């Protein structure tokens, strides 16, 4: 496991632990907000989570309609419990909604809690309660007013804005602070839905006024909302509108609001740069007490403010800043000394950034970074990194003693890292280099194989940093050659022998030992061995077998290898030695730049950015937020939020379940259908492609996966696409003047997608999608009846899909005469593509050549509803009338960015080496031929171009196939106007070529 994997694991564990710590509190607060006691297994409301009896939905419906308030409250609790564990309770929505007309606060809270969660999957239905929300927003009870505003803000539907604006404006000016602080958060939610509306209605001005509110919780929520709006609206001016009066209000609220409110205020202060040094000093003095807070998030935010002001508004070398550094040290030490390894790791990652900015803060506290015996590996590695950053001439002795102890640990990875740390100390501190070399020499004499190999690598770096200084230890290294079996250690030792060949008497013998395994050695070892032999020859051409050795290694490097790097380097050395040996000496033996200390990895701009993100995930990953967070992730996280005021803990934002491949969302409720459970596995990928990839690369003059290097101008270049003598695409005919049109492709036979079962009433389904007539798609079905009663009518409904498929005729299957038990009958359903109401987002697809379309069927006689998923290949939605001429094709090819290109290699074509047969197969599947040309400079190579248009989404594929005469394989290049559909199109073309 490498360091980055360890970092990700540690960050993940830290996040899980933080979520676990807050889960109990957030559940208690959420249930408390709804008037429900915290659930427990033994009794209380925990019993609602353990019910598994059948027919419970009807029983709950009756309780929701009861006259007793207690029964209604318990019924809504059952609904929320079922919804929490993942059961579908959408059928109870009307009954729960009827309970909203009540004066009972506990019941109203429970119903609102249900609506907030139900609105995530059924936002349009939640609008049915909007009149109640508006009425409750004017209720005399401030709890009800705040609850109504909060609930309306959580329903993330654009249509809600027309009802929300008036109540929200009143709530922002409400006399009760609880209502105001709730409304402040609601403005940020409204801005996410409609930013222009927030600006036009003056909500930003009202929110800025709340920053000067008398209530600290209102101030904290207003600051948090403005910060969120500023992050979303990056191109706007200062959203906060900071002034001296507001600044004083923020500092006053800092001592009175909750801990998470303090974090928001401190983060806002970190973005504010005082105009004068005295202002910065006053702010720091007010922030300094936060360093003693029990919450580490508050401490980190306070440190961020102080660091920012020290380096932007003050003189870092002043006596004042010296005092600030002394005050920053104790809280950092406290966080690092925590007993929880995950929290310790998060603190260490932040400390790593801080010491890069100013290591004087912790220069006297290096001992706290010494590793404990029971520290996890990821914590030990991070402590080592910080130790190296802090080490100085004053502390180097105790650090080396500690590293020497680490080299005797049982964890091999940690031992190697510790030995490398010794080398990094030597590279960083020239005065301590000799002491580091002595430590390494002691480790080498211990003759532990993995210790020796790590030490050899480190010594090579020290030699690069301090040339011709420590050659005395070369003898000890040479005594351990037999223990070197790792490529990195071999490479380092070979470099040492070649670099100091004139000082090593038996250098030729040592290199000869490595040459015996030259052909089996790793890539880096062979490259280093080639260079070392050339160095030996240039330094001592008359020694032993130097001349014969260099001839042998040059011959093996140029004639007996398929490694292009090794071959090219061999040719360069050969030509240098043959034409100008003096030039060879100047190049190969010339002075090299010394190895520099690589401790400071981050550039100044990146470091400034990460320091401004202290206390966030960016400071743990050491990456800017945009490197690991995208807009989709943010939207998913926001959709998981419910009640997020600072005095209410946020709900546990569990990761949403992945959407089914066929489309985004549940089936329409016409047939009372739930999610489709059936799934059809994708066909396995062919294994022959990889076997011929290298051969095709040589045949076609390039890597089969990388686009061939061509001039950036017209890739068709003048007459390159002009018809050749045998061009079947020449003239105006599709397949040329003498070539008949292709025969229609055979229809796909239906495959079983639903086995007869009790749920389906004995109905079994086999399905296949085929290209239809007049811009339609045919869904060919074979319906079997294994039940006891005949089937007369099946209603059919399709879920949303990337192709927007919908029935072109009546959505039903009529059986006249009825389908008797024990019989099977074929049926065809005509579908149209591109229905706007049936289009869904394109799911993340990689290898599949189609998508699974979810289908629901209902037996009109028995009422049984059953579901299936049928694979729809992409070529089923290819348009038959989307031909394009050569000039238009060239223009479209140029217009599509190279980033929208996809490449693949198809081996073992069923059509054999016949290019015409492969081209005809694609033409039969509605891939429209455009042109065909010979590849210049490559005898027997031809390129064919096709145009493909989809019936559903507005997308077009431009296809390039490269063939070699006599080879049953081809290279495929696909360009498309829709990047999300690129993998699907490439897979579909490859599947058609592989099809028998």
Last residue of some domain: 231, 257, 283? 257
Tokens standing for residue 570 = 């061999």
Residues 6+ apart with CB under 8 A from 214: 177
At residue 646, the pLDDT reads: 36
Q: Are residues 132 and 229 in the same domain?
A: yes
**DSSP β-bridge partners for residue 928:** 947
Q: CA torsion angle for 759, 762, 766, 772 (degrees, to 10)? A: -90
At residue 729, the pLDDT reads: 38
Q: Which of 158, 165, 104 is nearest to 133 (CA)?
A: 165
Considering the domain boundaries, does residue 377 fall inside one? no
With beta carbons less than 8 A apart as the criterion, state whether 383 and 389 touch: no
At residue 379, the pLDDT reads: 94
Q: Are residues 58 and 164 in the same domain?
A: yes
With beta carbons less than 8 A apart as the criterion, state whether 965 and 915 touch: yes
Q: What is the largest CA-CA distance in the chain?
A: 109
Chain centroid offset of residue 947 CA: 33
Chain centroid offset of residue 815 CA: 49
Q: Are residues 443 and 422 in the same domain?
A: yes
At residue 355, the pLDDT reads: 92
Residue with tokens 């049928």: 870
Considering the domain boundaries, does residue 880 fall inside one? no
- Is the omega angle on the peptide bond into residue 817 within 30 degrees of 0, that is, cis? yes
Q: Are residues 15 and 114 in the same domain?
A: yes
Q: Are residues 14 and 134 in the same domain?
A: yes
Residues 6+ apart with CB under 8 A from 830: 772, 776, 777, 778, 779, 807, 808, 809
Last residue of some domain: 216, 232, 257? 257
DSSP string spanning 181-230? HHHHHHHHHHHHH-HHHHHHTTHHHHHHHHTT-SSHHHHHHHHHHHHHHH
Distances (CA, A) of 890 to 523, 881, 937, 985: 42, 19, 22, 19
Domain count across the chain: 7
Q: How many residues does the chain have?
A: 996
CA distance 500 to 507: 8
CA distance 833 to 850: 15
Residues 6+ apart with CB under 8 A from 561: 519, 526, 567
Last residue of some domain: 465, 480, 495? 480
851 membership: H or E segment, kind and range: strand 850-859
CA distance 712 to 88: 56
CA distance 276 to 888: 63
CA distance 784 to 765: 6
Q: Which residues of 311-344 are buried (b: 16+ CB within 10 A; e: fewer)?
A: eebbebeeeebeebbeebbebbbebbeeeebbbb
With beta carbons less than 8 A apart as the criterion, state whether 990 and 905 touch: no
Considering the domain boundaries, does residue 282 fall inside one? yes
At residue 39, the pLDDT reads: 40
Q: Are residues 462 and 496 in the same domain?
A: no
Q: Which backbone phi and psi does 521 adopt, to 5 degrees? A: -75, 165
At residue 784, the pLDDT reads: 92
CA distance 227 to 782: 59
Please name the residue ranges forming H helices in 394-471: 396-406, 412-428, 433-445, 449-465
With beta carbons less than 8 A apart as the criterion, state whether 853 and 872 touch: yes
Q: Which of 660, 677, 670 is nearest to 800 (CA)?
A: 660
Q: What is the pTM of this model?
A: 0.58
Secondary structure string (H, E, C) spanning 904-917:
EEECCCCCCCCHHH
At residue 726, the pLDDT reads: 40
CA distance 922 to 988: 11
Domain of 819 in residue numbering reads as: 751-872
Q: Are residues 559 and 511 in the same domain?
A: yes
Distances (CA, A) of 344 to 44, 310, 329, 411, 585: 38, 26, 15, 20, 53
Q: Are residues 327 and 192 in the same domain?
A: no
**714 CB-side CA count, 13 A:** 11
With beta carbons less than 8 A apart as the criterion, state whether 60 and 71 touch: no
Considering the domain boundaries, does residue 384 fall inside one? no
At residue 238, the pLDDT reads: 62
Residue with tokens 């003239």: 731
Q: Are residues 231 and 201 in the same domain?
A: yes
CB atoms within 10 A of CB 713: 8
CA distance 777 to 948: 16
**DSSP β-bridge partners for residue 942:** 934, 963
With beta carbons less than 8 A apart as the criterion, state whether 477 and 496 touch: yes
Distances (CA, A) of 614 to 232, 263, 611, 621: 19, 11, 5, 11
Tokens standing for residue 218 = 């209102």
Please name the residue ranges forming H helices in 233-276: 244-254, 259-271
Q: Are residues 104 and 204 in the same domain?
A: yes
Nearest 5°: CA angle at 56, between 53 and 59? 135
Q: Which of 754, 753, 833, 777 is nearest to 800 (CA)?
A: 833
CA distance 222 to 227: 9
69-73 contacts, C-beta under 8 A, 24 or more apart: 69/102, 69/104, 69/107, 72/99, 72/102, 72/107, 73/35, 73/104, 73/106, 73/107, 73/110
Tokens standing for residue 121 = 């999957």
CA distance 406 to 370: 10
Q: Are residues 168 and 250 in the same domain?
A: yes
CA distance 773 to 926: 12
Residue 813 sits in a domain of what CATH number?
2.60.40.1150
Tokens standing for residue 188 = 């940020």
Is residue 472 helix, strand or coil?
Answer: helix
Pairing of strands 865-873, 901-906: unpaired
Considering the domain boundaries, does residue 583 fall inside one? yes
Secondary structure string (H, E, C) spanning 344-395:
HHHHHHHHHHHHHHCHHHCCCCHHHHCCCCCCCHHHHHHHHHHHHHHCCCCC
CA distance 655 to 639: 10
Q: Which of 947, 953, 954 is nearest to 893 (CA)?
A: 947
At residue 184, the pLDDT reads: 92
Q: Which of 922, 403, 962 is nearest to 696 (CA)?
A: 962
Q: Which backbone phi and psi does 766 adopt, to 5 degrees? A: -115, 140
Considering the domain boundaries, does residue 652 fall inside one? yes
Residue 219 sits in a domain of what CATH number?
1.25.10.10
Per-block mean pLDDT, blocks of 10 residues, the chain (996 long): 52 47 39 42 51 68 83 86 79 81 83 80 72 86 89 79 86 92 91 86 88 89 89 66 78 86 89 84 90 91 91 85 91 91 93 91 92 91 93 93 91 92 92 92 88 92 88 85 87 90 85 86 91 90 81 88 88 89 88 74 86 90 84 50 39 35 34 32 38 32 36 36 38 38 72 80 89 84 89 88 85 87 90 82 57 86 83 84 80 81 82 81 85 79 87 81 84 84 83 83
Tokens standing for residue 467 = 């040339």
Q: Are residues 221 and 262 in the same domain?
A: no
Considering the domain boundaries, does residue 935 fall inside one? yes
Q: Which of 747, 761, 750, 768 is nearest to 794 (CA)?
A: 761
Considering the domain boundaries, does residue 690 fall inside one? no
Tokens standing for residue 846 = 């990689």
Chain centroid offset of residue 210 CA: 37
Residues 6+ apart with CB under 8 A from 572: none
Distances (CA, A) of 547 to 116, 537, 544, 833: 82, 6, 8, 74
């Amino acid at each position: 496991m490498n360091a980055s994997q360890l970092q990700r694991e540690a960050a993940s564990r830290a996040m899980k632990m933080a979520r676990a710590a807050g889960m109990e509190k957030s559940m208690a607060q959420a249930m408390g907000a709804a008037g429900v006691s915290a659930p427990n297994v033994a009794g209380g409301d925990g019993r609602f989570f353990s019910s598994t009896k059948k027919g419970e939905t009807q029983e709950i419906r009756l309780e929701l309609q009861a006259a007793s308030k207690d029964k209604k409250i318990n019924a809504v609790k059952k609904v929320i419990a079922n919804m929490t564990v993942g059961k579908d309770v959408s059928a109870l929505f009307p009954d729960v909604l009827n309970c909203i007309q009540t004066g009972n606060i506990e019941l109203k809270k429970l119903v609102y809690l249900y609506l907030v969660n139900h609105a995530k999957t059924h936002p349009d239905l939640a609008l049915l309660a909007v009149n109640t929300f508006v009425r409750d927003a004017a209720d005399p009870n401030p709890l009800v007013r705040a609850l109504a505003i909060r609930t309306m803000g959580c329903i993330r539907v654009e249509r809600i804005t027309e009802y929300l604006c008036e109540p929200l404006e009143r709530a922002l000016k409400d006399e009760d602070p609880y209502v105001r602080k709730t409304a402040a958060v609601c403005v940020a939610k409204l801005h996410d839905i409609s930013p222009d509306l927030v600006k036009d209605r003056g909500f930003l001005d009202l929110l800025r006024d709340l920053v000067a509110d008398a209530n600290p919780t209102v101030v904290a929520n207003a600051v948090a909302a403005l910060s969120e709006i500023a992050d979303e609206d990056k191109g706007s001016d200062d959203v906060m509108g900071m002034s001296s009066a507001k600044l004083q209000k923020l500092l006053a609220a800092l001592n009175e609001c909750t801990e998470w409110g303090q974090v928001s205020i401190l983060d806002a202060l970190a973005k504010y740069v005082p105009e004068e040094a005295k202002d910065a000093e006053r702010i720091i003095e007010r922030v300094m007490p936060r360093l003693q807070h029990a919450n580490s998030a508050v401490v980190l935010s306070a440190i961020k403010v102080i660091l920012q002001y020290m380096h932007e508004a003050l003189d870092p070398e002043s006596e004042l800043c010296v005092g600030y550094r002394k005050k920053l040290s104790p809280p950092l030490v406290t966080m690092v000394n925590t007993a929880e390894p995950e929290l310790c790791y998060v603190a260490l990652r932040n400390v790593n950034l801080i010491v890069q900015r100013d290591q004087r803060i912790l220069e006297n506290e290096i001992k706290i970074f010494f590793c404990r015996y029971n520290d996890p590996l990821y914590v030990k590695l991070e402590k080592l990194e910080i130790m190296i950053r802090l080490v100085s001439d004053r502390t180097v002795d105790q650090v080396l003693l500690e590293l020497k102890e680490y080299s005797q640990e049982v964890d091999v990875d940690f031992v190697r890292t510790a030995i490398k740390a010794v080398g990094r100390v030597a590279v960083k501190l020239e005065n301590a280099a000799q002491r580091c070399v002595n430590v390494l020499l002691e480790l080498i004499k211990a003759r532990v194989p993995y210790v020796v190999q790590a030490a050899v690598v480190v010594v090579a770096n020290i030699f690069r940093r301090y040339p011709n200084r420590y050659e005395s230890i070369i003898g000890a290294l040479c005594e351990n050659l037999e223990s070197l079996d790792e490529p990195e250690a071999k490479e380092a030792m070979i470099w040492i022998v070649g670099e100091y060949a004139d000082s090593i008497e038996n250098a030729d013998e040592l290199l000869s030992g490595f040459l015996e395994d030259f052909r089996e050695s790793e890539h880096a070892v062979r490259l280093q061995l080639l260079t070392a032999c050339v160095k030996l020859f240039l330094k001592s051409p008359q020694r032993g077998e130097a001349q014969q050795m260099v001839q042998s290694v040059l011959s093996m490097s140029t004639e007996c290898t398929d490694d292009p790097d090794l071959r090219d380097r061999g040719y360069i050395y050969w030509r240098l030695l043959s034409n100008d040996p003096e030039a060879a000496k100047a190049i190969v033996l010339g002075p090299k730049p010394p190895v520099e200390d690589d401790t400071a990895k981050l550039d100044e701009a990146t470091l400034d950015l990460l320091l401004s993100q202290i206390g966030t995930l960016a400071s743990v990953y050491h990456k800017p937020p945009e490197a690991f967070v995208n807009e989709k992730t943010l939207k998913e996280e926001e959709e998981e939020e419910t009640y997020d005021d600072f005095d209410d803990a946020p709900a546990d934002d569990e990761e949403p379940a992945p959407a089914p491949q066929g489309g985004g969302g549940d089936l329409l409720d016409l047939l009372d259908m739930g999610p489709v459970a059936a799934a059809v596995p994708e066909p396995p990928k062919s294994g022959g492609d990889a076997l011929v990839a290298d051969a095709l690369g040589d045949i076609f003059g390039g890597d089969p996966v990388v686009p061939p290097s061509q001039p950036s101008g017209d890739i068709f270049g003048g007459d390159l696409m002009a018809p050749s003598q045998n061009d079947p695409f020449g003239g105006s005919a599709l397949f040329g003047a003498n070539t008949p049109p292709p025969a229609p492709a055979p229809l796909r036979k239906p495959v079983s997608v639903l086995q007869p079962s009790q749920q389906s009433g004995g109905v079994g389904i086999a399905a296949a999608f085929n290209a239809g007539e007049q811009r339609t798609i045919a869904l060919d079905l074979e319906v079997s009846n294994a039940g006891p009663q005949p089937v007369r009518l099946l209603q059919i409904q399709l879920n949303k899909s990337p192709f927007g498929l919908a029935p072109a005729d009546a959505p039903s299957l009529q059986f006249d005469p009825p389908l008797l038990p024990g019989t099977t009958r074929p049926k065809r359903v005509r579908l149209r593509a591109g229905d706007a109401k049936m289009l869904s987002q394109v799911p993340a697809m990689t290898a599949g050549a189609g998508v699974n379309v979810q289908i629901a069927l209902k037996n009109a006689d028995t009422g049984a509803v059953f579901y299936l998923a049928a694979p729809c290949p992409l070529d089923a939605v290819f348009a038959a009338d989307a031909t394009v001429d050569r000039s238009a094709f060239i223009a479209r090819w140029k217009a599509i960015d190279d980033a929208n290109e996809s490449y693949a290699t198809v081996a073992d074509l069923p059509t054999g080496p016949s290019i015409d047969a492969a081209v005809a197969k694609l033409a039969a599947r509605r891939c429209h031929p455009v042109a065909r040309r010979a590849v210049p400079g490559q005898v027997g190579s031809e390129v064919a171009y096709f145009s493909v248009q989809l019936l559903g989404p507005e997308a077009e594929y431009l296809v390039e196939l490269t063939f070699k005469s006599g080879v049953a394989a081809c290279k495929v290049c696909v360009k498309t106007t829709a990047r999300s559909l690129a993998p699907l199109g490439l897979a579909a073309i490859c599947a058609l070529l592989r099809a028998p």
